Each structure stands twice: as structure tokens, then as C-alpha cells.
Structure 1
Amino acid sequence: MKTREKIISAALELFNEQGERTITTNHIAAHIQISPGNLYYYFRNKQEIVREIFKLYATELLERFSPPNKDKESLALLRHYLDSIFTLMWKYRFFYANLPEILQKDQQLHEDYILVQNKLRHNLVQIICVFTEMSLITISDDDMQSFVTTLHMVTASWLNYRTAMSLKTEVTEEVILQGMLQMIAMVKPRATAQGLEQLTLLEEGVIAMHQ
């Protein structure tokens, strides 16, 4: 792994473990045993590192939530998207847990975030449309935007909500699994009989991961 990649990887690890606000470039440099001067050769400041991590996140987000292949088995599709929610929220948990503060510090990052999220919303609408065509859920065109907005909002703000509602601020895998269950609960009322059966299977799988 090249030095630049080591810096990004170390920053992501430290941000997730200790929070972005508490970590400095000196901490990152010490973590991979390089001098601060060596780190500054690649990044002028911590904010540039945060931006690079966001680029990785954005690429993975849009790849994982691209419109599905309709020929793929429906349960596998549902599982793929649910697993993607867990993977992204855990891998980039510092970003989800402290999103407003991170964006407020960097206007360019905030603008990039909005662009990526708008692309994601477009993809989510297409994904929901495919699920309706597969007879997994029923939703009218009039309700589509509101439904997608609610799903999007809960995913983006779940870690903020959970940390605010607990005296313990640590983000654990269990907290993210609870978010997955919440997403399933939101989709269930719109599910067809076939969709409900498959969502129940997914729900049982998530609950099993809790135990």
C-alpha cells in the first residue's frame, strides 16, 4: 500500500474509532509511523483527507445502490441493498455519526455531498420502481418521492438519532443492525404478500445477527 493510501486508511480507522473531531494530522502520521511533514507532502490539512474519504464513500455508495438487474432473484436483490446499508454505515460510521458538523466546516464538501445524494435519490426511485414491477411492493407515483425521501432521511440520520437517544455515544454494529430493522419496518406496510414473506426472512436474518 502506498503512503497516500496508508494515510487515508489510517484516518478512516481513527475517525471511526475516536471521532473525526478528536483526531489531528499528527495522530494520523503517528499511527502509520511517518513524520507530519511526510503527511503534508500528500495532504495540506485534515480536511483534504476527509474529502478523499468522502470520494471513496461516494463511489461505493452509488455503485452499491445502482438500479438493479431485473433478472436477478428478488430476495437476493433485497439482501444486497440491506447488506449495503450495513456495510456503508459501519465502514464510514464517523461520517454518518457527525454529518452536520463535518459538512458545516467545508462548503465544497457540502456541495459535493448534495450532488452525490441527489444522484442517490434518483437511483433509489429507480430501485423502488423495479421492486414494484417485481410485485414486491405497491406504491403510487404520487407517493414515490415522499417514500424515497423518508427512506433516505432515516438512513442518513439514523446514527445521529441513536447517539442522541443514548447516554453512550459509541456506534456499534448492533446500533446499525437496529437501523436495518427500522428500514424493513418502514417498507413492510407497502409490501405485497410475496414481498412481506421476503422481508420477514430478511428481518429474521438481521435479528439472528443480534443474538
Structure 2
Amino acid sequence: MKRQSTRDKILLTCRKLFNAKTVGAVTTAAIAEAVGINEGNLYYYFKKKSDVVAALFEQFAAKQLRLAEQDRNLRDWFELMWEWRFFYRDTMAILAMDPSLRSHLKHLADQVQSRGRLKLMEMIELGQLKATEAELDVLLENCWIISTYWIEYLHSRHGINRVTKKHLDWGYRQMAALFQPYRVASQQLLASSDFLPHPDLA
């Protein structure tokens, strides 16, 4: 088994800390203590916290693109959001910390949305969905809005600061509901689509 490098351990620890708290609430001293190194050693790998966030974003982007390329279902996307939920919850704080990430986020969104459009077009060709191009554009935008902001919505609308697996199911249900008007009412065709598992079976 390959030994985990100190850099990788720092990044894994930071992802867990950022998820549990917020990016702004986690200090470099707390990171060093959780990793089991002194702050000076931490600075050897990352000069500032924004450098940690940038490195984590590279990992996050790679996982998103890999998931898109593998044609995984939408429920898997929500699992990925769960693993990297601090990026969705703390977006504004992260962009204030490192404004250069804004262009990287846009590029990533363009790539993922493009792959999503191809998948939905494939479902239309297979007769699993029925939608015009204009309807498809709206569906894609609404999917992106929900997938990007559902965690922040729970926080601002319902005062939920600690997102759990139960909330993950809630988020997926909101996404799945968007597809309902466009799904072809054929049980055989619906069963053949792995892209959009039923919320009760996911």
C-alpha cells in the first residue's frame, strides 16, 4: 500500500475540516494540529490557506470531469457534492480569498454542462426524455442552479448549518423533480435509464 505523503495528508485533513466547519473558521494552526505537524512545516507545503484551497480545487475539478466522462448518474453527482460540500457552501468566501478561482470555476462549469447536454440529448434520442432544445437549455440551467446552491439554500432558508446525508437525499429529490415533466411515461424505457435513478431507490 502506497504511503500517504504529508502534502496529501494536509489536503485530506483540510477537506474534512472545511466540510465540518467553514473555510474561514479553520486556521492554519488548526490545520497543522490536525495533521500532526507544526505550522512552520505546513508553510513548507502551502504558504497560505488560499494555496490549500487552490490545490483542493484541482482535485475537485478532476473528480468532476472524471465523473462526467464516466456517464455516472445524477445521484453520484450529489455524493460528490457531499464529499466537497464546502466548495458549494463557502463559494463567496472562497472567491473573496482567491478571485482567480472564478475563471477556473466558469471553465469547469462549461465543461461539465457540455457533457451533461450530450447525455440529455442521448436520452432524448433513446426516447427516455421528450424536450425541445429550448426546454433542454432551461432544464440544464435549473439543474446547475440546484446542484450549485441547494446547500446554501438550506442554510439561508432553513437555518441548517450542518448538512447530513438526509439533506443529500433532499437535494437529489429537488433535482429529480425537474425531469418529471420531460420523462417518457414508459416503465420499460424509464427502467433502462441509469442516469436518473428514482429518489426512493437511489
TM-score, length of structure 2 as denominator length: 0.90
Per the alignment, residue 77 of structure 1 pairs with none
1:142 aligned to 127, 134, 137, which one?
134
Change (3 A) 1:164 1:142: same
**Contact 1:85–1:180 (Cα < 8 Å) also in 2:** no
Per the alignment, residue 65 of structure 1 pairs with 68
Q: Is 1:6 matched up with 2:9?
A: yes
- CA separation in 2, counterparts of 1:201 and 1:126? 18
Change (3 A) 1:170 1:136: same
Gaps of 5+ in 1: 69-79, 207-211
- CA separation in 2, counterparts of 1:165 and 1:118? 28
1:83 CA displacement: 2.8
Deviations 1:19-58 (A, max 9, x none): 1110011111100110111111111101010111111111
Gaps of 5+ in 2: none
2:123 aligned to 127, 131, 145, which one?
131
User: Greater helix share, 1 or 2?
Assistant: 1
- CA separation in 1, counterparts of 2:34 and 2:97? 24
Deviations 1:150-209 (A, max 9, x none): 111111011011111223311111111101011111101100013784489622214xxx
Per the alignment, residue 50 of structure 2 pairs with 47
Q: Which amino acid aligns with 1:189?
A: P
SS in 2 for 1:56: helix
TM-score, length of structure 1 as denominator length: 0.86
1:67 CA displacement: 7.0
Per the alignment, residue 34 of structure 1 pairs with 37
SS in 1 for 2:128: coil
- CA separation in 1, counterparts of 2:160 and 2:134? 40
Q: Report the identity percentage.
A: 25
- Deviating above 6 A after TM superposition, structure 1's stretches of 4 or more consecutive aligned residues are none
**1:166-205 counterparts in 2 under 5 A?**
166-194=158-186, 197-198=190-191, 202-205=198-201
**Contact 1:181–1:203 (Cα < 8 Å) also in 2:** yes
